[in-house]
Each structure stands twice: as structure tokens, then as C-alpha cells.
Structure 1
Amino acid sequence: MSWEEFLWHVDHRLGMYVGKLRYDRAWSMLTGFALARGQGELTAFQEWISARHPGSSSLIFSSLVLAETFGNGATEECLASDADHSLAVSKLCQLFREFLKQHA
């Protein structure tokens, strides 16, 4: 499965694979897929997203995606509704696609 196909499934059919649509489940699925591929994309993505947030002390890379979605200081506790989770999942997929295009 290609990254583009995988990201489409995460963005459009996450619930089919992990039950309830939740951002942490999407992040876990992305992490598992990247690690299974063994190509180092996850490490490179983490470096890329960290570079977009200079001076950030966050070591939780999934929070950097939330910061880009909802503003600085956003955490998973800020995800109050299904719509918030859906927006965060879509942003995660969008950012990973952007990363892949830049590193193709």
C-alpha cells in the first residue's frame, strides 16, 4: 500500500479500522504504518514538523500537528467534539502529504 492510499483511508475511513474516529488513533495508525515500512519516514516527519515550530519545547510530535490545527498550546484534551477530532485527523493527513511531497 502506498502512502497516498494509506492517508486516504486514514482521512476517509479511519473508523472502519480503529472504531471511533479519534485523533490519537489516527496518529497511532500512522505510526504503526511508518514503522512497518521501516523507511524512516516517521523520524523524518518528526524532524520536519519540529522545524516548523522553532523554539517549541514539545517533544510530543502529535501535539505539533494540533498546534497547526487549533493554535499554539492545543493538546488532545482540547479536542472536545467529533468535529474537532475529524479536523485534527484531516490536518495530520494534509501535513504528512505536504511532508512527503517535499521529501520525494
Structure 2
Amino acid sequence: MDWHELLSMVERRLGMYVGRPRYDRAFSVVTGFDLARGRGELAEFQRWMSERHQGSPLTFWALILVEAFGGQATEEHLGTDEDHQLAIGHLCRRLREFLDLDAAGPPAPI
């Protein structure tokens, strides 16, 4: 399995593997996959996300929520199934964007 297959599964079939699809569960699956691969792609993704947010000290999973919902969004703001799905979709889109840019060279500055 590669990143693109995993992200497709997380977006479309997460509930089949972890029960109710929740952002924290999607984040856990992505983190576990990264650790199993042993290549450190999420560490690079963290740097990339931080640069996109002018060196923000927030973790990438928190920055995803800020991008998806604005302001000071946290997991407490995920009140509905739709909120969780929106956050999961945004996480997958950003990871795809990063992985595509990573393959083509360093990301362009914002």
C-alpha cells in the first residue's frame, strides 16, 4: 500500500477499519502508516505545514483544523459527523498536495 491508496481508504472507508469515522482516528491511521513505513514523511509534512502558517508552533493536525474551520478551531469544534468528514477530507487533501510537491521538489513559498 502506498500513501495514495491509504488516503483514499481514509477518506472513503475509514469506518470499515476503525468504527465511526472520526478525525482523531484518521490522524491515528495516518500516523501509524507513517511510522510503519519508517521514512519520516510526516515530520517533513509538519515542517511544510508550519511554513505555510508562518512558522506556527501548532502540530499539523491542529493546523488542518484551523484551515478547515478557521480561527482557533480545535477537536472540540468537531460536533457533527459532517465536521469530522470535512476535517478528514482536508487532512487527505493537504497530504496529497504535500506528497505531490515533495515528489516534484521543494514546495513553493506562500
Cα separation, 2, equivalents of 1:7 and 1:47: 20
Q: What is the Cα-based RMSD across aligned positions, in Å?
A: 0.9
1:18-97 pair list within 5 angstroms: 18-58=18-58, 60-97=59-96
Where do 5+ consecutive residues of structure 1 fail to align? none
TM-score normalized by the length of structure 2:
0.90
Deviation at 1:55, TM superposition (A): 4.8
**Equivalent pair of 2:49/2:60 in contact (CA under 8 Å):** yes
Give runs of ≥4 in structure 1 deviating > 6 Å. Answer: none
d(CA) in 2 for partners of 1:29, 1:55: 26
Is the 2:45–2:60 contact (alpha carbons within 8 Å) kept by the matching residues of 1?
A: no
CA contact (8 A) 2:50 2:57 kept: no
Aligned residue identity for 1:65: I
Q: How far apart, in 1, do the equivalents of 2:40 and 2:30 lie? A: 13
Offset from partner CA, 1:29-67 (integer Å, 9 cap, x none): 000001100111010011111111115342x32110001
Q: Structure 1 length as normaliser, TM-score?
A: 0.95
Structure 1 residue matching 2:39: 3-state secondary structure: coil
Identity %: 57
Partner of 2:106: none
